[in-house]
Chains A and B, each alone.
Chain A
Amino acid sequence: MEHIVIIGNGIAGVTAARHIRKNSDKRITIVSAETDYFFSRTALMYVYMGHMKFEHTQPYENWFWKKNRIELKNGYVNTVDHQNKKLVLADGNTIGYDKLILATGSKPNKFGWPGQDLLGVQGLYSKQDLDQLEANAPDNKVCKRAVIVGGGLIGIEMAEMLRSRKIPVTFLVRETSFWNGVLPAGESAMINEHILEHHIDLKLATNLVEILADETGRAKAVTTDKGETIECSVVGLTAGVSPNIDFLKDSGIELGRGIKVNRHLETNITDIYAIGDCAEQYEGIGQRRPIEAVWYTGRMMGETVAQTICGNKIEYKPGHWFNSAKFLDLEYQTYGWVFSERGMKENEQHFHWRDDKEKICVTVAFDKKTKQFLGINTFGIRMRHEIFDRWLTEKRDVNHVMEYLKDANFDPEFYSQYENKIVSKFNSEFGTSISLKKKSWKRIFSNA
């Protein structure tokens, strides 16, 4: 029986395993070093905040794996020996494979800051990081202040976590406005306000220079490029992640920033595939980046590679881009492409609406000339994935999107609706006279 070995029990590896099992009878082994069972990395914050226990982050009960004949091996792979088709584990054991899937995920970036390896300095990626944070910052007596370096999604999550225990937080963000490399200015500005509302000491356009140690080798303060010294007990390094591939350096597998793969998710070595955070496309697909370190793409690559392994060779061909996040209390969803002013394409034009009372806003991107709808960012209003996916496929124009905006609303029942305000601003801005259509189940589920 063909033996499929997967390194990494994250969303990518586990999705691949599940789908291979569904489509075949092959022997499947997952080797992973972090935890015995798959858990949801995206939920780590909720464990620290006391919303959930760690066991709740595990999407499958422990019997699931045996029942589905997916063998789990807790161990760290030191070497991939593709000539002999075997893995050598840190404990000296070896595992032979017929096909190998690398799904090793990411690790937090460290940019060589002085003091980055001191006690009390940590990233937030793994279960071990969570445990460490629990030890480093159990409450605001042990941790008098935390400094978080890097204004991305993980950074703001870490800030929220620490604030839940009333720990004062200073948030160093390199950009002049939060996440403005990704978000348009209006949205980024709204989040700046929201961060401050949560009593987080946001320092924009500020870089870390050095982390200072006390006599026991623990972090005691940081200095910034603004000449400030900020005393603290914990430093969170959240300046992005990069593929976790160090152990593959001399394996003969082609590496760039990540593991180089073609559209079939194959590496340069036969029978070795790479998926999830660790995979790097030779060229970004469409407007996507070559490395996509998000949950959904890991899952999609897992779904795809399983087909190939089970004899139905197909390309990784993701559909329309979508993503979501939550900034403290603000939910964010995006469908299609809305670029920030920095990344904006020549032909891209934005319509931005923000409510005058609530922290709710929407940005719609469309083509200047053709008016084709390109994408939407929404804050504080949930929207239907299916509808936007359809509109993008059908290449609808922005007027159509405005006219049928109610179909896309996904907020819980009885919520205030903002479509009227949105469309009337659109009308006055662009001199159109679009009148909103009532929500129609028929349209919503027309090709469901």
Chain B
Amino acid sequence: MKVIQNIGIAIFLIGLGVFTTLPFIGDFKLDQSSFDELIDSQGIKSEIFVSDLKSKLVNKNFSGFQPLAPLVEESIDKANTEHTKNKEWGKKVYAGSDDLATTIRKKSGYGYVPQNKGLMWFLTFGLGIIGALMFILPQVVTLGKKGIKNDHIYHQSSTNKGWIAWLVFIFLVSFYLVLYFKSEYAVNWTYLVDPISESLSGNPAGHWFVYGFMYCVVMTVMAVRMYIKYRHNMYQMVRTTSVLFFQIVFAFLIPEIMVRLQLSYSKGYDFKNAFPLDYDFFFNWNLKELIAGGGLGLFILVWGIVLTVVIVPVMVYFFGKRWYCSWVCGCGGLAETLGDPYRQHSSKSLFSWKVERWLIHGVLLFALVMTGFTLYGFFAETGTVLGIKVQSIMNTYSFLIGAIFAGVIGTGFYPIFGNRVWCRFGCPLAAYLGFVQRFKSRFRITTNGGQCISCGNCSTYCEQGIDVRAYAQKGENIVRSSCVGCGVCSAVCPRGVLKLENGPEEGRINPTEVLLGNDVDLMELVNKR
């Protein structure tokens, strides 16, 4: 078994190695006709830009890591300065240099990778999957009898913030930085999944398709790990299946298929992604597209609003925030699969709890204010509200919250700060759900009378940094806005103290001092005070 697992690791690392090398290699050469096509498709009217860029790019060889974006940037600057001077507003180039560079690369790649997509897919994704499964599947045997298997989590470099964890951290952070800010380097990756993208939506893959596909693959493989690790725990099995289903079908397949069907509303839409997590839902351009998108567009508009205003709170009332955060949501889905080995790193200190409340509610406020501005701007048909450019608020949010917080920090920091950094400190939807859960819900984690032995397993493995034990050892139910109902505290408790359940609201919050099992008169005296 050990041998199989070690071979698995080796194969996985080869796959990962090839994948990681791809941004550094490859040849790119743009010919005249592709160049024209590109200029055409981007609707660029500036001759200055066209001729400048043409002299730099067309029929010239670029390889690997040589950046294109600065060249494009230069041309844009040059053209725009000139056009501004001449007041030729219609000719200014508004496209971003990174996006253009990415599109150029995608059009101009030649050589081994784009010509051997299938093989390269196998050498990256294929080997990664095979290797990972060879490591994971033998755990059916190596983990022994079913039950909680947390042995050596704090002895292993990978799960105890050792060097492996730091490498994973660097890898994840770099990956997100490329994805969000330097997507031209992701072009080689897009070739690998072109065939898949074409078969789904009919279009070649962009870097977000790579991300979406990879997300599903990673979640699926790590879900297998969850199934094995928690095979004694039906709650974990069902929940993992649910979250995987929603990721693959709702976040990945349906949007692609919507594009393929060329519906009136031509973009893909993730029907489960609720505002304000889906922070650009009320952005000017999105509203315009939805309204222009005929029946389907309108349906999505109404659905999006009903989802946030009605479905989300009603479901939280009946089932707690968990129905979304650990059963449906994609961010939660990754956290519960890829992130599971890191759940113990969330800080349980009171200080972190304070930081959490300031941050997450701050983000919610930010999202709401921003949305207020965009909506006002939309209806008043203005780009400036209260003297502030709406666009600049939207850009700040997208950059700080959408990219840095949710992506780079949210996932990149898994191995160091735990798997729910975004969900705990940042997600505005989680903040909203949390209010409902805390103040108007049937959900609670019931503490089983006086059975707690204060061992600390529950707190240690709470991914949301809740000090579960602090409640359990007082015999108190846990009713906390941040609880995503992953059920792991209940799973790891060696004394059967914790149960996630939806029951009557009355008595849900039950502050106690003297626990069940002691003198009933004393309990009465102290607890009723």
**Residues of chain A at the chain B interface (Cβ within 8 Å):** 11, 19, 22, 40, 42-43, 46, 49-53, 56-59, 61, 164, 197-198, 295-296, 299-300, 303-304, 307, 312, 314-320, 322, 324-326, 328-329, 331, 333, 382-386, 389, 393, 410-416, 441-442, 444-445, 448
Chain A residue with Cβ nearest B155: A50
- In the complex, the answer to whether B451 meets A329 with C-beta atoms within 8 Å is no
CB<8 Å pairs between A and B, sample of 12 = A46-B455, A59-B456, A300-B518, A324-B495, A326-B494, A331-B494, A333-B495, A386-B448, A412-B235, A413-B234, A415-B235, A445-B504
- Given A40-B454, A56-B456, A413-B235, also A299-B500 (CB < 8 A): no
Known A-B contacts A40-B453, A57-B456, A385-B517; A50 and B496 likewise in contact (beta carbons under 8 Å): no
A303 to B455, CA, bound (A): 19
A407 → B minimal CB distance (Å): 12
Cα distance A43–B504 in the bound complex, in angstroms: 33
| Contact mask for chain B residues 480-513; partner A; CB cutoff 8 A; 1 contact, 0 none | 0000000100111011100111011011001001
Question: A414 is contacted by which of B144, B238, B494, B522 (Cβ under 8 Å)?
Answer: B238
Assess whether B496 is in contact with A322, with CB atoms less than 8 Å apart: no
Interface stretch (choices B34-42, B87-95, B110-118, B145-153):
B145-153
List of B residues within 8 angstroms of A393 by Cβ? 520
For the complex of A and B, the 6 pairs showing the least CB-CB separation, nearest first, are: A385-B449, A329-B147, A382-B496, A414-B234, A43-B455, A317-B519
Which B residues lie within 8 Å of A411 (CB)?
A: 499
Whether A42 pairs with B453 at a CB distance below 8 angstroms is yes
* A40 partner, pick from B456, B501, B518, B526, beta carbons under 8 A: B456
A307 to B492, CA, bound (A): 34
Q: How far is the CB of B455 from chain A (nearest CB, A)?
A: 4
Could you tell me the distance between the alpha carbons of A383 and B495 in the complex, rounded to whole angstroms?
Answer: 10
Q: Which of B233, B496, B525 has the most CB of A within 10 A?
A: B496
Determine if B517 and A320 form an interchain contact, defined as CB atoms under 8 angstroms apart.
yes
Complex-state Cα separation, A322 to B475, whole angstroms = 14
Q: How far is the CB of B148 from chain A (nearest CB, A)?
A: 8
Interface size class, chain B: 35 or more
* B459, CB-defined interface residue at 8 Å: yes
Tell me the smallest distance from the CB of A35 to a CB of chain B, in Å: 14
Please, which residues of chain B bring their CB within 8 A of the CB of A442? Answer: 504
Q: Which residues 87-134 of B have a CB within 8 angstroms of A? A: none
Contacts of A410 on B, CB cut-off 8 Å?
Answer: 446, 448, 496, 499
- Which B residues touch A43, using CB under 8 A? 453-457
Q: Which residues of chain B are within 8 angstroms of A328 by Cβ–Cβ distance?
A: 145, 147
Q: What chain A residues lie within 8 Å of B501 (beta carbons)? A: 413
User: How many angstroms between the C-alpha atoms of A386 and B510 in the bound complex?
Assistant: 13
Return the chain A residue nearest B472 by Cβ: A59
| Residues A448 and B147 in contact, CB atoms below 8 Å apart | no
Asked if B450 lies at the interface with its beta carbon under 8 angstroms from chain A, I say yes
Whether the Cβ atoms of A51 and B460 lie closer than 8 Å is: yes
Beyond the given pairs A382-B448, A412-B487, 19 more chain A to chain B contacts, judged by CB atoms under 8 angstroms and listed by A's residue number, are A11-B454, A50-B150, A51-B457, A59-B469, A61-B349, A164-B152, A198-B145, A317-B521, A324-B496, A328-B147, A383-B496, A410-B499, A411-B499, A412-B234, A412-B235, A413-B487, A414-B237, A441-B503, A445-B503
B153, B454, B515: most-surrounded residue (chain A CB, <10 A)? B454
CB distance from B289 to the nearest CB of A (A): 41
Residues of A within 8 A of B238 (CB): 414
- Contact in complex: B451, A389 (CB < 8 Å): no
How far is the CB of A413 from the nearest CB of chain B, in Å? 5
Determine the main DSSP class of B at the interface with A. loop
* A445 to B491 alpha-carbon distance, docked (Å): 23
Whether the pair A412, B491 counts as a contact (CB closer than 8 A) is: yes
Closest partner residue, chain B, to A315 (CB atom)? B519
Do A22 and B513 form a contact, CB below 8 Å, given A53-B154, A328-B147, A331-B496?
yes
B470 within 8 A of A: yes
Task: Let me know if B25 is at the binding interface, CB within 8 A.
Answer: no
Judge whether A319 and B516 touch: CB under 8 Å.
yes
- Tell me the nearest residue of chain A to B473, going by C-beta: A59
Residue of B155, B457, B491, B522 ringed by the most chain A CB atoms within 10 A: B522
Question: Which residues of B have CB within 8 Å of A314?
Answer: 519, 521-522
- Give min CB distance, B82 to chain A, whole Å: 63
Q: Which residue of B lies closest to A411 (CB)?
A: B499
Q: Which A residues touch B519, using CB under 8 A?
A: 300, 304, 314-319
Are A164 and B456 also in contact (CB < 8 A) when A296-B517, A329-B145 are? no
Are the C-beta atoms of B491 and A444 separated by less than 8 Å? no
Q: Report chain A residues within 8 Å CB of B455.
A: 40, 42-43, 46, 57
Complex partner residue of B517 from A19, A322, A441, CB under 8 angstroms: A322
| Cβ distance B345 to chain A, nearest Cβ, rounded Å | 11
B234 touches A61 (CB 8 A): no
